[in-house]
Amino acid sequence: MPHILIVDDDQKIRSMLTRYLGAEGFSVSGAADSNKAYDIIEGHKIDLVLMDLSLQGEDGLDITRVIRKASEVPIIILTGKDDPVDKAIGLEVGADDYVVKPFHLRELLARIKSVLKRVPPTQPQPVDIIVATKNVRFADFKVDFSKRQVLTKNKKPLDLTSGEFKLLSAFVSNPHHVMNRDQLLDHVAGRSWTPYDRSIDTQIRRLRLKIEKTPAQPQLIKTVRGEGYIFTGDVQPC
């Protein structure tokens, strides 16, 4: 019984596909975001992923890059944009097929069966690219890598996206070392980045808002002009 993972933040679509594919003999799991998707992939043998592009936090392309770095599991992208550029990018980052919403369920089923036939089955592989393994402390925070959490001094989990957690993990694993954008992006999403890609700057701004006392004058994640970023916090194992 092939196991299909549906990654889509639309509960109605997840429910519809779960019922339909279940009736067709598939085992089905659903995830609304990257965190849940990674947990399912790490804990189960997944034979195919249906990946929506428009997600909160990490989008479908980012998640596809992370999965593809660690596994050859087939991926079919689902999107509401009938854009040849989006299609090309999706295939370039490792997707095996592309279906535009709204789609006919029988067409989707045919594409699933076709991909499963032409892609050899693979063994499950972890997609976790966290670079550190021991829990650490810095400033008023504790990083718990096993639970993928950052706790405040009041022991409350900090609300971080999966990408923000990976970015912070890269910093605390390499304190007081300048890291350029390509190095940081490789830690965050495991992709080969195009020149002049500045998306990491947006993630760093968001991370600063959550860990810096004065985000406009950061003391933990500092910009090194012309080189990248450096984490200046005192990181201690715990």
Question: Where does a domain end: 85, 118, 151?
Answer: 118
- pLDDT class for 83, splitting at 50, 70, 90? low
> Of all residues in the chain, what percent carry a pLDDT higher than 70?
86
- Does residue 130 form part of some domain? no
**Cβ–Cβ contacts within 10 Å for residue 147, how many?**
10
Regarding whether 150 and 114 lie in a shared domain, the answer is no
Percent with pLDDT over 90 in the chain: 39
Residue 86 and residue 35 share a domain: yes
Mean per-residue pLDDT over the chain, rounded: 83
CA distances for 155 relative to 136, 141, 158, 164, angstroms: 14, 9, 9, 19
- CATH number of the domain encompassing residue 179: 1.10.10.10
* Mean pLDDT, residues 80-104: 78
Decide if 178 is inside a domain.
yes
Mean pLDDT across 125-154: 74
141 shares a domain with 110? no
Let me know whether 193 and 159 are in one domain: yes
Reply yes or no on whether the pLDDT at 95 is more than 60.
yes
On the question of pLDDT at 73 being above 70, the answer is: yes
pLDDT in tens, 6-42: 999 999 999 999 999 999 999 999 999 888 888 888 7
Supply the pLDDT for residue 110: 94
188 HSE (CA, 13 A, CB side): 28
In a domain, 127, yes or no: no
Same domain, 114 and 147: no
Q: Are residues 109 and 14 in the same domain?
A: yes
Of 146 and 60, the one with more pLDDT = 60
233, 191: one domain: yes
146 and 223 co-located in one domain:
yes
Domain membership flag for residue 126: no
Q: Could you give the CA distance from residue 12 to residue 20 in angstroms, rounded to a whole number?
A: 12
Q: What is the pLDDT of residues 146-198, one digit of tens each?
A: 778 899 989 899 988 877 888 898 899 888 989 888 778 777 755 444 444 56
> Contact, 190 vs 129, CB < 8 A?
yes
Assess if residue 128 is contained within a domain. Answer: no
In a domain, 195, yes or no: yes
Tens of pLDDT, residues 120-130: 655 444 334 34
Instruction: Provide the pLDDT for residue 127.
Output: 39
In a domain, 125, yes or no: no
Of the three residues 68, 86, 118, the one that is the final residue of a domain is: 118
Residue 163 belongs to a domain:
yes
Tell me how far apart the alpha carbons of residues 61 and 3 are, in angstroms, rounded to a whole number: 21
Same domain, 140 and 80: no
Domain CATH for 15: 3.40.50.2300
Among the residue ranges 49-53, 55-59, 85-89, 220-224, the one predicted with the least confidence is: 85-89
The range of the structural domain enclosing residue 156 comes to 136-237
Q: Are residues 17 and 59 in the same domain?
A: yes
Work out how many domains the chain is built from and give that number.
2
Query: Of 118, 151, 178, which marks where a domain is finished?
Result: 118
Q: Which range has highest mean pLDDT (32-41, 69-78, 160-169, 213-222)?
A: 213-222
